[in-house]
A and B are shown apart, each in its own frame.
Chain A
Amino acid sequence: MEEAATPLLVCSDIRKTYGDLVAVDDVSFHILPGETYGLLGPNGAGKTTTINIIAGILDADGGEVRVAGQPMNPRATRAKAAVGYVPQDIALYPDLTASENLVFFGRLVGLSGTTLKERTREILELTGLTSRAEDRTATFSGGMKRRLNIGIGLIHSPQLLILDEPTVGVDPQSRNAILESVDAMANNGMAVLYTTHYMEEAERLCDRIGIIDDGKIVAEGTQRELVEKLGGHDKLHIGITGHGQPAVNATAMLDCVIRVSLGDAAMELIVSDARSSLAEIVNTIVETGAEITGIEIEEPNLEAVFLHLTGKALRD
């Protein structure tokens, strides 16, 4: 990913209100080709409304969305042709077969003839549904429906793929397959806008993350940037035997230690960088005569950042 690349998606101060409710409040961000951007926020934060505006389903009341240089709105057919949209709920005809669903949406995105036939075959293969191509989707498992739901979004090889919570209700095996597919698509140059309730998915997939709350982007950056921006500290749990108080007093004097407390047969230290200061801390404890029984490092994560910014857990 090159910084100089032209963003594929640019959202500038987009705004949407419903009466007095401001659902999206001057949201701005961009996504580069090949980049996976995670949009995280608690329920009701404005994620889906933002996505619906970006996908051209809803008109924004203010601001601008551009996809591949084209302005996006419900009438913008050229911009929509560059977007693959995978909604949160499985949006398929259950009384049509997998291939009929793909052909239907393929036609709506402008494919026809041998191109449509070939893409349908490729998507069925990609989603592992070739053997069930002629079965009605009502007979599919939840995971199979999810895979087909994503496949429909990919039928026209879009430049920007919008995935709104694509792994909800999916078994671990299918979930892993979906995440690997998303990773592979981003590596092939596709820009991905990804929302999820699962923090580990965001941590694993997303190059950059925007945290949205009450319709506003409250923080944005890489995972590391977000943690650093919020002054995140590591936590060390060190199990000890014998008297712990001398060890507490000694470690409290170290520059790298911000705070230390003694619990039941264990010390808890808040440090700026656990990995670089671990040796010094261990030596100090050993010198006081205490015996170390175990060490556990807890680095600040996205969950903590999210909680700090929104005051809510991600699944609230």
Chain B
Amino acid sequence: MKALTIANVTLRRMVRDPLSLFFVFVFPLLLVLVIGATFGDGFQPRIGIVEGNGPTAEALAARLRALDGFTPRTVGSANEAADGVARGAYEAAIVIPNDGGNMLAVQVVVRQGSSARQIRTVIEGAVATEAASLRAADVLVAEGLRPNLRTALATVDRVEERVAGFSVVERSVDDSPNERPIGAFDLGAAQQLVLFTFLTSLSGGAALIQSRQWGVSRRMLATPTSAATVITGEALGRFGVAIVQALTIAVGSSLFFGVYWGPLLPAGIIIGLFAAVSAGASMLLGSLVDNDQQAGSLGVFLGLAAAALGGAMVPPEIFSPTMRNISHLLPHAWALDAFTEIVRRGGGVGDILIELGMLALFAVVILVAAATAFRKTLTTS
């Protein structure tokens, strides 16, 4: 119970500090917001549509505007559309020419880059589908089977619902057949989680130094409280800070952006073990450094460096084999591997035993080193 009393004070002090509040609750969620708004499931490309004259052109424009997954904007001219795409006002534009001849040459305007290619592919698919329906409707009108394009299109739509069609599903050769389709932010969120959990914990090492500097830690020893209880309490407090940080990101990103974190049990174990590693690192830093301001700066530096090396700042996929090996000297890489397994491939606890074991090993080694160093600061004069 006394250990919980000490841990409770650590958490209370954290929420009293406006700077801590910002970095624990606001800043990570701001990043989630920015990244989620850019790449998350809620992202809808803005498409400028230049509408040509004539019933076919107008019908195609109307059908494209009604498609799901795009935010359509009506644009006056092809030049205006090109300027808008160049400025970033739209992710792409579709220029529908006036009716005439037997070919309606629809133009798709995009920028260079892989995301533009993806958007172009999606738009081309949508245009092709709608164009096929329009051609079928044109045939019905031309053959005199329907009086006008509007009723002909309604007939085509009804027929399409009844007739079996074809669909194309794309799969990368690198992907396992069992992989779950993931949102663009799903794995980025895991990187945010390990980065901020470790970074916030290391920065929190300064609070332990303050407790020592203020003489509060020693004063605890003068009460009927053993050194082991004080150490446990301080470690639990730091564990609580790390858990609060991790859950803020996990729950916040899940609620606001639908980020998928995998099955609850393995995800919870990964978070718990990584929080234990972070708590140990925080206590170790707070025991080895004597100046709280130095510890704050050092904590940020070490936190960012560990995140960069551990694959939490750039996708680990771009690492060379050597760098991949080096990254696994850090707990971040193991935590990210575990998240990848449960998020992308639907793995359970049994599938990530090695990763969990490594995280547990990191936690034990760092916590024991931290407890030893902290005990030394408490019991030497």
Q: Which residues of A contact B (CB under 8 A)?
A: 18, 23, 48-49, 52, 55-59, 74-75, 77-78, 80-81, 83, 85, 87, 89-96, 100, 104-105, 107-110, 136, 152
Inside 8 A of A94's CB, which chain B residues have their CB? 214
A-B contact count (CB 8 A): 81
Interface residues of B in 195-229 (CB under 8 A from A): 211, 214-216, 218-227
Q: Which of B17, B214, B220, B227 contacts A108 (CB 8 A)?
A: B220
Give 4 new A-B contacts, CB below 8 A, not counting A108-B6, A108-B224. Answer: A77-B225, A95-B16, A96-B12, A104-B5
- A56-B222 contact given A18-B381, A93-B13, CB 8 Å threshold: yes
Q: Is the CB of B225 within 8 A of A108?
A: yes
Whether a CB of chain A sits under 8 angstroms from the CB of B320 is no
Whether a CB of chain A sits under 8 angstroms from the CB of B2 is yes
Q: Is the CB of A107 within 8 A of B5?
A: yes
Whether a CB of chain A sits under 8 angstroms from the CB of B379 is yes
Contact with A along B1-45 (1 / 0, CB 8 A): 110011001001100110000000000000000000000000000
Q: Is the CB of B220 within 8 A of A58?
A: no
Inside 8 A of B214's CB, which chain A residues have their CB? 89-94
Most buried by B among A49, A58, A93: A93
Q: Which residues of B contact A (CB under 8 A)?
A: 1-2, 5-6, 9, 12-13, 16-17, 211, 214-216, 218-227, 379, 381
Inside 8 A of B16's CB, which chain A residues have their CB? 95-96, 136
The residue of chain A having its C-beta at the shortest distance from the C-beta of B216 within the complex is A91
A15 and B138 CA atoms in complex are apart in Å by: 106
Q: Is the CB of B215 within 8 A of A91?
A: yes
Q: Is the CB of A77 within 8 A of B2?
A: no
Q: Is the CB of B226 within 8 A of A75?
A: yes
Q: Is the CB of A55 within 8 A of B224?
A: no
Inside 8 A of A80's CB, which chain B residues have their CB? 222-225
Inside 8 A of A91's CB, which chain B residues have their CB? 214-216, 218-219
Q: Is the CB of B224 within 8 A of A109?
A: yes
Q: Is the CB of A96 within 8 A of B224?
A: no
The residue of chain A having its C-beta at the shortest distance from the C-beta of B5 within the complex is A107
A109 and B6 CA atoms in complex are apart in Å by: 12
Shortest distance between the CB of B320 and any CB in chain A (Å): 46
Q: Is the CB of B5 within 8 A of A108?
A: yes
- A108-B12 contact given A55-B222, A83-B222, A91-B219, CB 8 Å threshold: no
Q: Is the CB of B12 within 8 A of A89?
A: no
A74 and B219 CA atoms in complex are apart in Å by: 12
- A85-B381 contact given A91-B214, A96-B12, CB 8 Å threshold: no
Q: Is the CB of A104 within 8 A of B9?
A: yes
Q: Is the CB of B13 within 8 A of A109?
A: no
The residue of chain B having its C-beta at the shortest distance from the C-beta of A110 within the complex is B224
Q: Is the CB of A57 within 8 A of B222?
A: yes
A81 and B2 CA atoms in complex are apart in Å by: 14
Q: Is the CB of B2 within 8 A of A108?
A: yes
Most buried by A among B5, B214, B218, B223: B223
Q: Which of B17, B215, B379, B381 contacts A74 (CB 8 A)?
A: B379
Shortest distance between the CB of A131 and any CB in chain B (Å): 21
- A49-B9 contact given A75-B226, A93-B216, A107-B2, CB 8 Å threshold: no
- A85-B5 contact given A94-B214, A95-B16, CB 8 Å threshold: no
Inside 8 A of B223's CB, which chain A residues have their CB? 80, 85, 105, 108-109
A18 and B6 CA atoms in complex are apart in Å by: 30
Inside 8 A of B17's CB, which chain A residues have their CB? 95
Q: Is the CB of A87 within 8 A of B9?
A: no
Shortest distance between the CB of A316 and any CB in chain B (Å): 21
Shortest distance between the CB of B319 and any CB in chain A (Å): 41
A57 and B379 CA atoms in complex are apart in Å by: 7
The residue of chain B having its C-beta at the shortest distance from the C-beta of A51 within the complex is B222
A169 and B105 CA atoms in complex are apart in Å by: 88
A91 and B211 CA atoms in complex are apart in Å by: 9
Inside 8 A of B216's CB, which chain A residues have their CB? 91-93
Inside 8 A of B6's CB, which chain A residues have their CB? 108
Inside 8 A of A78's CB, which chain B residues have their CB? 224
The residue of chain B having its C-beta at the shortest distance from the C-beta of A76 within the complex is B224
The 6 closest A-B pairs by CB, nearest first: A91-B215, A85-B222, A77-B224, A108-B223, A91-B219, A80-B224
Inside 8 A of A89's CB, which chain B residues have their CB? 214-215
Q: Is the CB of B9 within 8 A of A58?
A: no
Q: Which of A18, A81, A105, A110 contacts B219 (CB 8 A)?
A: A105
Shortest distance between the CB of A285 and any CB in chain B (Å): 57
The residue of chain B having its C-beta at the shortest distance from the C-beta of A105 within the complex is B223
The residue of chain B having its C-beta at the shortest distance from the C-beta of A80 within the complex is B224
A173 and B216 CA atoms in complex are apart in Å by: 26
Shortest distance between the CB of A113 and any CB in chain B (Å): 13
A55 and B9 CA atoms in complex are apart in Å by: 23
Q: Is the CB of B219 within 8 A of A87?
A: yes
A93 and B210 CA atoms in complex are apart in Å by: 9
Inside 8 A of B2's CB, which chain A residues have their CB? 107-108
The residue of chain A having its C-beta at the shortest distance from the C-beta of B222 within the complex is A85
The residue of chain B having its C-beta at the shortest distance from the C-beta of A83 within the complex is B222
Q: Which of B1, B5, B13, B218 contacts A57 (CB 8 A)?
A: B218
Residue contacts A-B, CB under 8 angstroms, 25 given: A56-B221, A57-B218, A57-B221, A74-B221, A77-B225, A81-B224, A85-B223, A90-B214, A90-B215, A91-B214, A92-B216, A94-B214, A95-B16, A96-B9, A96-B13, A104-B5, A105-B223, A107-B1, A108-B2, A108-B6, A108-B220, A108-B223, A108-B224, A109-B224, A110-B224
Q: Is the CB of A52 within 8 A of B381?
A: yes
